[in-house]
Amino acid sequence: MRHIHIVGIGAGNPEHLTVQAINALNAVDVIFIPSKGAAKSELADVRREICQRYVANPATRYVEYEVPSRQTADRSYMQSVDEWHDAISATYERLFLDHLTESQSAGFLVWGDPGLYDSTLRILERVARGKVALDYSVVPGITSIQALTASHRIPLNLVGKPVQITTGRRLAESFPGIAETAVVMLDGEQAFSKIDDPDAYIYWGAYLGTKDEIIIAGRLADVSERIVETRAEARTRHGWIMDIYLMRKGQDFDDLA
């Protein structure tokens, strides 16, 4: 049966790879490298650099493929994602049939950690329900959340208090009314700029762990506009952006006062 290794590669720094990840990549017959077009060529370049650094198996084959684009016109968010996952699963099925025998294995290099706001696992489940028999395993990776808190030199949580991980679309539902600490991923609309709370703080980062890393932190009312402007400029310059931020209100032990 074909076996797929889903390998978390961290937030963009090749040195984020774990020993487990390196061993997994050296054990596979094929490594699939996704391409998202010229504007996001750096994402494929990082994967290639990782393979050049760490894959020592001379028999390893590399297969590059184009990732289908998500269609959003006249569709709800959930509908567009569902259709997109179907298109990618069809792409994966073709890759497995064309490049893997039933006894071979392959690796996917997944940004961050495969279990956190990544759809590779869900898509492979769709493939497995089809005509390609396969099994898969997961190698965890350093998440963008870990990279963010490390770059800002802050703990993720307030003492004894929970953390919510959410998206920009959902931020206003919980912060600051319910969650005292919220980590926001997948925010193309800069939802933080719509939060009006004088006591809120933000820790923002883009291209974390890479030479292009940008971090900004401070009271939200003071730095919100600077983050919006910095983000727009960086996206224009690179053609893409990966960013994440942590919103916080309150301090350690403030419930003891």
Nearest residue to 120 via CA among 107, 133, 103: 107
**In Å, how far are 6, 10, 21 from 17, measured between CA atoms?**
13, 6, 6
Class level of CATH domain 145-251: alpha beta
Strands 61-66, 181-185: parallel, antiparallel or unpaired by DSSP? Answer: unpaired
Buried b (16+ CB within 10 A) or exposed e, 126-161: bbbeeebebebebbbbbbbbbbbbebbeeeeebeee
Element (H, E) at 206: strand 201-206
Distance CA 183, CA 166 (A): 6
Query: Which secondary structure element, helix H or strand E, spans residue 110, and what is its range?
Result: strand 105-110
The full set of domain ranges for the chain reads 2-142, 145-251
Output the pLDDT for position 139: 97
| Fold match between domain 2-142 and domain 145-251 | no
Write down the CATH number for the domain with range 2-142.
Answer: 3.40.1010.10
In this prediction, residue 70 carries a pLDDT of 83
Question: CB–CB of 184/167 below 8 Å?
Answer: yes
- pLDDT tens digits for the chain (257 residues)? 899 999 999 988 999 999 999 999 999 999 999 986 655 677 788 899 999 999 999 999 999 999 888 888 888 888 998 899 999 999 999 999 999 999 999 999 999 999 999 999 999 999 988 888 899 999 999 999 999 999 999 999 999 999 999 999 999 899 988 889 999 998 988 999 999 999 999 999 999 988 899 999 999 999 999 999 999 999 999 888 999 999 999 888 887 65
pLDDT for the residue numbered 75: 85
Q: How many Å apart are CA 124 and CA 136, to the nearest integer?
A: 8
Residue 40 confidence (pLDDT): 66
Tokens 């993720």 sit on residue: 156
pLDDT, position 38: 59
